[in-house]
């Protein structure tokens, strides 16, 4: 009787043992996660930009741009004003310079005319000489010429010295060629009409005779 009971209970115990072992193996295959993985995780919230915030930012940028443009306009107006003042000053300077130049020319011309008046007076006196000796008349004319030359020289007129110098077409005008072996060829041997320089420029070239070798 006991043997039968022990034999009848053996299969059931084996099943229980197998079930426990299989349960342990299934539990051992599960990998536990880190402690507090889900409970301690924090979620980061990013601020959302609303349409109203974007509109305010755009308005602020537009305001800054308008203010910058107003500043630029003010600077441009200031520069234009300075330019106009400079232009006005320059125009005044030009008018003043032109007026001073005209006054200088007028003063110079008046001075020349004034210096020539005594010469004119002496010519008139020489013409009025009646019955004088020829020597006295010649001396009077020479005096007039010297006075005239002095007045013109003081006004800036310079005679061209040419006799004995080499012929220079910039200052001389050859009217005759003469044979003369006593001087070098192309030498001015005689002055036919005086030449003059005024203001550093040839006012009138001297008319001269130029030497050449005899044939």
Domain 53-155 has CATH 3.90.20: yes
49 backbone dihedrals φ, ψ, rounded to 5°: -90, 120
- Taking the C-alpha atoms of residue 201 and residue 191, their distance in angstroms, rounded to an integer, is 20
For residue range 93-140, what is the model confidence (pLDDT) as tens digits? 999 999 899 888 877 776 776 777 787 777 767 766 655 556 677 777
Helix (H) or strand (E) holding 98: helix 51-127
| Segments making up each domain of the chain, as ranges | 53-155, 158-215
Residue 174 pLDDT greater than 90, yes or no: yes
205 backbone dihedrals φ, ψ, rounded to 5°: -70, 155
For residue range 64-82, what is the model confidence (pLDDT) as tens digits? 888 888 888 888 888 898 8
- Taking the C-alpha atoms of residue 176 and residue 87, their distance in angstroms, rounded to an integer, is 59
Domain 158-215 has CATH 2.30.22.10: yes
213 backbone dihedrals φ, ψ, rounded to 5°: -75, 145
Cβ-Cβ contacts under 8 Å for 23 (sequence gap 6 or more): none
């Amino acid at each position: 009787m006991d043997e039968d009971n022990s034999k009848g209970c053996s299969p059931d115990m084996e099943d229980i043992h197998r079930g426990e072992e299989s349960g342990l193996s299934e539990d051992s295959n599960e990998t536990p996660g880190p402690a507090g993985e889900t409970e301690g995780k924090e979620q980061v919230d990013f601020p959302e930009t609303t349409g109203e915030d974007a509109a305010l930012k755009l308005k602020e940028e537009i305001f800054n741009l308008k203010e910058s443009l107003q500043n630029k306009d003010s600077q441009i107006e200031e520069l234009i004003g300075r330019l106009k003042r400079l232009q006005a000053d320059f125009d005044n300077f030009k008018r003043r310079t032109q007026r001073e130049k005209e006054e200088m020319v007028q003063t110079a011309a008046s001075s020349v005319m004034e210096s020539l008046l005594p010469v004119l007076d002496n010519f008139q006196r020489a013409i009025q000489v009646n019955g004088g000796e020829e020597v006295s008349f010649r001396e009077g004319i020479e005096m007039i010429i010297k006075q005239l030359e002095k007045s013109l020289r003081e006004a800036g007129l310079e005679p061209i010295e040419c006799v004995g110098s080499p012929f220079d077409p910039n200052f001389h005008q050859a009217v005759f060629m003469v044979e003369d072996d006593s001087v070098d060829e192309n030498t001015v041997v005689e002055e036919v009409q005086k030449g003059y320089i005024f203001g550093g420029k040839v006012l009138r070239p001297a008319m001269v005779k130029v030497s050449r070798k005899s044939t």
